[in-house]
Chains A and B, each alone.
Chain A
Amino acid sequence: MRLLVLLWSLGPLLWQLRTSLLRPEALVAPLLEGSPWTLANYQLVLSGDPPFWRYLSNSALVGLVTTGLTLLLAVPCAYGLQKQRGPLRWGVGLGLVAAAMFPTVLLFLALLEIARSFGLANDLLALSLPYTALSLPLAVLLLRAAFADLPVELEDAARLEGLDLGQRLRHVLLPLLGPALASTGILVFLASWNEYAIALTWISRNDLLTLPIAIARIGGSSVFTIPYGAFAAATVLGSLPLLLLVLLAQRAIVSGLTRGAVKG
């Protein structure tokens, strides 16, 4: 059963990897002569202008700034919402769920107008503004749930010891929220890494493109053939940083869980 699940989720990735290593002719029919394997796809992708790592670093920059900004805003929001009582809390919570469910695609035209009138086009840092705004509802909801799971008495004990709000967050609450912060951060980073519509409309300069747009453009140069191999190679290269990130964060999440809670 586990094997089945593993195959189910890893299958497309492995197929992508295989495609990226095959010669284009080998994709449609078995080759009669010579080896079907090649690194040409990777050479093609990496030798582009600007070089591929440029797109990677563009995406990483936007992703990191988005994640940082989102967490920075979401933590106080989630804390405040968790402390709130009565109808306001309910209403804001409902509003956040609605915002988190709203289809992004409906927004990008309006966002484009905003970008135009504020001169935000072709600016990577500015791109992280809509990304942060779009990630915020979900991040606040996730972190609020995490705050709710912490025992109230922990914060009471800290208040009695004279810790002010900032100190309580820094020394008591946030260290305990480590795993939740890590998983929320990954989700936000992934959303930013994969985002297409806004990046497509906000960025036009070639050297500022983010990864999804850059990959889409690989196909743009040829009309009659679709360079599956190059697509696959770019996708594999684009997934590597994510793999690394998740592996690192996973360690943080797991070690956070084994720390032991308050329960007697």
Chain B
Amino acid sequence: MNLTPAAGLELRQLCRDLGERRLLDRLDLKVAPGECLALLGPSGCGKSTTLRLVAGLDPASAGKVLLDGEDLTDRGPGERQVAMVFQSYALYPHLSVEGNLALGLKVRGVPVRERQRRIEAILDLLQLQELRLRRPAQLSGGQRQRVALARALLRQPRIVLLDEPMSNLDAQLREELRPELRRLLCGREQPVIYVTHDQQEAVGMADRIALLEGGRLQQVGSPRELYADPANRFVASFLGRPAINLLAMEPHRQLGLRPEHLRLGDDGAVAARLQRREWWGHQQLLWLDTPWGTVRVLTAPETPLPTEPRLSWQRQHELWFDPRSGERLAHGRI
């Protein structure tokens, strides 16, 4: 994917301190041209901070932001050619859709004819022609998001940043818009960073996911890598729903087993007793009492339950963690 070794966006040892607090700690990250990277993590993990540093809205306390090998760290937000879609969309409430799009171009002195041509093109691309004279207050959530996206793409940015662009929309609309957003954003030549706290959205939108927690990068990789080969307990429990079972079987090791990897049968290593059953339609989630505590098991909805159910699993699905640090221990060791 990389044309030259330096192409794309690179964050090098990026830090951000606010007073005594370190919001972001030595982040190293690369995003290739045309790649969509999701920054995923719980609120306060540093993902929005990272985005603001890339955009230049906040100054970095240490480290560098490089684009195609060019150092952007000391440039202001207006000189970086970065476009950003905000969570609230941040449309200018006193201007029409057209006015919202035109303001940036006008200020930068783009001639009227050129301005008009570009606005028409983007209005067509995002199917906003009929809404062009409306004010933001007269638009639905989905329409506002499209306008915000149009404003971001209009300036032909070198980097596109999206800060939880879907979190103001209802779940159904979110799923409908995801492929559309992918079509518009990804596979162009710019790197795209997509911030979200929703793992489904991250998996649906991104080529790779960078998982953050407490201002530190936990792991970066494809969704499959993060799911199958988590670097630590946080990654293992953040990704995958229902969440992984963490069992304190031994004093110095903790066993992680995903609910979808557990089997219930007449024979198995552990005895279990059914506590509760959640029926999800395509699957059911069973809550079982075991000697190590409650364990969640995902099975097909009509699976008959044995009279004395026992749990079993395959050795390859075991994930072992250090109970104190949460670090992953070497695979399959006993």
A interface residues with partner B (beta carbon < 8 Å): 151, 153-154, 156-164, 167, 171-172, 175-176, 259-264
Q: A160-B57, A161-B103 are in contact. Are A259 and B137 (CB under 8 A)?
A: yes
User: Do residues B107 and A160 form an inter-chain contact, with CB atoms below 8 A?
Assistant: no
Picked from B57, B78, B87, B93, the residue with its CB within 8 Å of the CB of A161 is B78
B200 interface residue (CB < 8 Å to A): no
User: Do residues B103 and A154 form an inter-chain contact, with CB atoms below 8 A?
Assistant: no
User: Do residues B57 and A259 form an inter-chain contact, with CB atoms below 8 A?
Assistant: no
6 smallest A-B Cβ distances: which pairs? A260-B137, A161-B104, A162-B78, A153-B90, A157-B90, A264-B168
24 A-B contacts (beta carbon < 8 Å): A151-B88, A154-B90, A157-B90, A157-B92, A158-B103, A159-B77, A160-B56, A160-B57, A160-B83, A161-B104, A161-B107, A161-B151, A161-B155, A162-B78, A162-B107, A162-B108, A171-B92, A172-B92, A259-B93, A259-B94, A262-B136, A263-B88, A264-B88, A264-B168
CB proximity of A88 to chain B, nearest CB, Å: 15
Picked from B55, B88, B92, B93, the residue with its CB within 8 Å of the CB of A160 is B55
B91 interface residue (CB < 8 Å to A): yes
Could you tell me which residues of chain B, from 126 to 150, have a CB within 8 Å of some CB in chain A? 135-138, 141, 144
User: Do residues B88 and A163 form an inter-chain contact, with CB atoms below 8 A?
Assistant: no
> CA A151 – CA B136 in complex, angstroms?
15
User: Do residues A261 and B86 form an inter-chain contact, with CB atoms below 8 A?
Assistant: no
B82 interface residue (CB < 8 Å to A): yes
User: Do residues B93 and A176 form an inter-chain contact, with CB atoms below 8 A?
Assistant: yes
User: Do residues B103 and A260 form an inter-chain contact, with CB atoms below 8 A?
Assistant: no
B244 interface residue (CB < 8 Å to A): no
> CA A242 – CA B230 in complex, angstroms?
71
B79 interface residue (CB < 8 Å to A): yes
Inter-chain contact total with CB atoms closer than 8 Å: 82
- Given A171-B92, A261-B137, 10 more A-B residue pairs with CB atoms under 8 Å apart are A157-B151, A159-B57, A160-B55, A160-B56, A160-B78, A160-B83, A162-B104, A260-B138, A262-B136, A264-B141
User: Do residues B84 and A157 form an inter-chain contact, with CB atoms below 8 A?
Assistant: yes
User: Do residues B94 and A160 form an inter-chain contact, with CB atoms below 8 A?
Assistant: no
> CA A253 – CA B45 in complex, angstroms?
41
> CA A160 – CA B84 in complex, angstroms?
8
B238 interface residue (CB < 8 Å to A): no
> CA A156 – CA B152 in complex, angstroms?
13
Q: Which residues of B contact A159 (CB under 8 A)?
A: 57, 76-78
Picked from B79, B82, B86, the residue with its CB within 8 Å of the CB of A153 is B86
Q: Which residues of A contact B84 (CB under 8 A)?
A: 156-157, 160
Q: Which residues of A contact B86 (CB under 8 A)?
A: 153, 156-157
Smallest Cβ-Cβ distance to A171: which chain B residue: B103
Q: Which residues of B contact A158 (CB under 8 A)?
A: 92, 103
Smallest Cβ-Cβ distance to A151: which chain B residue: B88
> CA A246 – CA B84 in complex, angstroms?
41
What does the 1/0 interface line of B70-105 toward A look like (CB < 8 Å)? 000000111100111011111111100000000110
Q: Which residues of B contact A154 (CB under 8 A)?
A: 90, 92
Q: Which residues of B contact A260 (CB under 8 A)?
A: 93, 135-138
Picked from A167, A175, A262, A264, the residue with its CB within 8 Å of the CB of B107 is A167
CB proximity of B41 to chain A, nearest CB, Å: 20
> CA A263 – CA B91 in complex, angstroms?
10
> CA A157 – CA B84 in complex, angstroms?
7
Q: Which residues of A contact B93 (CB under 8 A)?
A: 176, 259-262
Q: Which residues of A contact B77 (CB under 8 A)?
A: 156, 159-160
User: Do residues B88 and A262 form an inter-chain contact, with CB atoms below 8 A?
Assistant: yes
